[in-house]
Structures are given as C-alpha cells and as structure tokens.
Amino acid sequence: MIEDMLRTPSAVRDAERYTAHNYHPLPVVISSAEGAWLTDVDGRRYLDCLAGYSALNFGHRHPTLVRAAHEQLDRLTLTSRAFIHDQFADFCRELAALCGKDLVLPMNTGAEAVETGIKVARKWGYQVKKVAPGQANIIVADGNFHGRTTTIVSFSTDADARADFGPYTPGFTVVPYGDLTALEAAIDENTVAVLLEPIQGEQGVVLPPEGYLPGVRRACTDRNVLFIADEIQSGLGRTGRTFACDHEGVVPDMYLLGKALGGGIVPVSAVAADADVLGVLRPGQHGSTFGGNPLACAVATEVVRLLATGEFQRRSAELGERLRAGLEGLLGNGLVAVRVRGLWAGVDIDPALMTGRQACERLMDRGVLAKDTHGSTIRLAPPLVITDDEVDHAVAQLAAVLAG
C-alpha cells in the first residue's frame, strides 16, 4: 500500500512518543523549505501561511541571511559578553537607528526580551521615578500573550497558559485591551510601565481601536510612566510598517523585539530604548551567555539592513490589501469576521461550520499551512516574500475549505 511507504505517519508517531505534549502540531513533517514553500518528508509541498509566528518574515533560507550565517560560522560563533566581538557594535548601532533609540540590549528569545523589559521598567521606576521599594506595578491588557515564563504567565488571562503554574509573581494590573478609560484609571503613583502588544497576535490578530495607542502614549507621558510596546510578532515589517505602532504615529519608550530579528535562522531578541531608560542597568545586573553572540549579530544585522530599504514593509502593505480583499470576499460565506493589518490576518470561521483546528487540518490537506487559536479563529501570516498569485492561492484554498 502507498500509505505504508510514506514516512510521515511513523515520524509523527515518534514525535508523539518521545516528546512532552506541550504542543499539538498538525500531522505534517517538514524536511526542507525555500521562500514561502515547505516540503515534507514525503515530497509534498505546502504554502507556509504561518511563517513561524512572524519569525520567518523574510521567508525560508533568504539568501542574504543564509550567506551571512555561513560566513560567520566559518569565523566565530560565540564569545559571551565577557568580551566584545567584531559583529556586536554594527548590530546594536544599526538596530538602534532603525528603532530611533539610543541603546539596544540583545537577548535570545522573545520571552527574554519581555523579562528584560519588565526588569528595566522596575529598576527605572525605583531609580528615576522614585517609586517606594518593592511597590512597582506594571499595567497589562487582558488577552495578552507575552511569553511563557513564570512571571509572564502570572499576568496572562489565558487559562491554559496560566493554570497550575503558581504561585504567581505580583506587581501587575490587568485592564481590558482597547479600553483607554480603564487603563488611565489603573495608573497610580506606583505604576512604572504599561506593557502592551500593539496588535494582539495570539488572541487572533486583534487590532486596537482607532486612537487607543495614541491615548496610551499620552497617558504614559502625562503620568510619567514608560510605554513598552511588545512588537515581537507585530514588528519588523509584518504589518506593512516597520512597527505596528507606526500606523498611528506612536513612539513607545521601549520596543521589545524578537522572532523576525533572527531571520528564521537563529533566535535573536532585543530591547531598544533611550539612554535614560536602558542606562539604569549596570554591569552584573542583567545578562545572557548567548545574548548578542557573533552568529546572531551577523544574521540580525542583515535583517536590519533588509528592513532599512523599506522593500519588505511595502510588500507587506501592498499584498496585505490583496489579502484583505480576498478574505473580505468570504464574509457571509463561512467567515463571520476578518481582521487584517499588512500580511497578518485573523479570520473567525462560523463555529457552526467547523473549529479553527478543523479548518487548519483541511487547509493542510489542500497544501496550505496555518494555525488556529481560540476556537474557530485562524491566523494567516505568510512570509513577506509571498507573491500575488500565492496570496490568491491561499485565499482560494480557504474558500474551498469553507465551501466543504
């Protein structure tokens, strides 16, 4: 039988047998990729409409990024921050310029960037704002997703992310996302920061109400509070601008960056802020063995240079309008809501038809890979190198799934 000759079933069984079940992946086993396309162990090709949760904004194996990695692998991969290496200054300088900030603190993962932002905000609160010792508070939004460390899940409102991981870290106040009045009311003399995703990706690509982000910026400025923008998924070209905050002309005090910064090759994250914020740190107070390593910096510097051209932001904006038009054409034909910003979309399927998981499984059968979240919602986030025809193809396959 043909099925007995396929490698996928046994590979899926082995993965389930030998790993903790902290993920529920689709039963597809990828062996190679290029651009916006993936190939599984049995030679079947799939259009990637997830892009590693935006980690693959530039597609799989972008030649410029692969070349930078190869060249650095032949020279130097790690020194630790005990020494300075020859890729470090270029990366920090060019990323700081892209962000319009004075300083950069490199880390590895998105969660590390968030943890770094929390620590810096608290230290700033005690040293600069003069908050009473041990009283610093940070305001966050419900529906947030900032990572999975014990501190971060302490202020999550997602039961799966939070349940049974206590005791929880204090020092956070949760307010409704998009509710400026509630946020302003929550700020008090001990508030050191407001930490928000400009667009809530994990929640289903939830866009902020018009005027919300400028209102947050004003409230933070007026009350001497730091505005921290978690742009780990939304930043670096995904939404059609360099940062999602750019859509409303908002400049936060601190950017948290990750995912796309590593070009889909190595984990790279960073915090970018001015010297009056990041300057509160002193030697020995925060660090990472692999943060800012030579290999990461070599790749990430090329990522920053790709973004500096503006090409990928333009592609995301233009193709995002094409994606929007296609998806909105399915409203009333299986979709009940569509939210799009650049090449990032959350679509809500009529729950009477199917769940988001079922939709993703059926899309997989049709050669398109996407990810479900929260019941009947699926997220689409293809690499920014996707073409017009490929966008149309993804929408057509979704239409076919909805039509049954």
Question: Which pLDDT belongs to residue 5?
Answer: 81
Active-site residue, from 58, 88, 91, 145: 145
Query: Does the annotation count 158 as an active-site position?
Result: no
Which backbone phi and psi does 207 adopt, to 5 degrees?
-90, 145
Q: What is the pLDDT of residues 203-235, one digit of tens each?
A: 999 999 999 999 999 999 999 999 999 999 999
Domains annotated for the chain, with CATH where assigned, are 2-61+311-403 (3.90.1150.10), 76-308 (3.40.640.10)
The whole-angstrom separation of Cα 71 and Cα 61 is: 14
Gyration radius of the chain over CA positions: 21
**What is the C-alpha separation between 191 and 228, in angstroms, rounded?**
13
Please give the backbone phi and psi of residue 103, each rounded to the nearest 5 degrees, phi first: -135, 160
- Digits of tens for pLDDT over the chain (404 positions)? 455 689 999 999 999 999 999 999 999 999 999 999 999 999 999 999 999 999 999 999 999 999 999 999 999 999 999 999 999 999 999 999 999 999 999 999 999 999 999 999 999 999 999 999 999 999 999 999 999 999 999 999 999 999 999 999 999 999 999 999 999 999 999 999 999 999 999 999 999 999 999 999 999 999 999 999 999 999 999 999 999 999 999 999 999 999 999 999 999 999 999 999 999 999 999 999 999 999 999 999 999 999 999 999 999 999 999 999 999 999 999 999 999 999 999 999 999 999 999 999 999 999 999 999 999 999 999 999 999 999 999 999 999 999 98
Task: Please report the pLDDT score of residue 372 as a whole number.
Answer: 97
pLDDT for res 261: 98
Residue given tokens 């501190």 in the structure block: 151
**Which member of 91, 155, 172, 230 is catalytic?**
230
Out of 101, 123, 129, 259, the active site residue is 259
The token pair that represents 189 in the structure block: 């003399």
pLDDT value of residue 1? 46
Does 129 qualify as catalytic in the annotation?
no
**How far, in Å, CA of 347 to CA of 328, rounded?**
9
Give the pLDDT of residue 160.
Answer: 93
- Is the separation of the CB atoms in 258 and 109 below 8 Å? yes
Let me know if 172 is a catalytic residue: no
Q: What is the pLDDT of residue 290?
A: 97
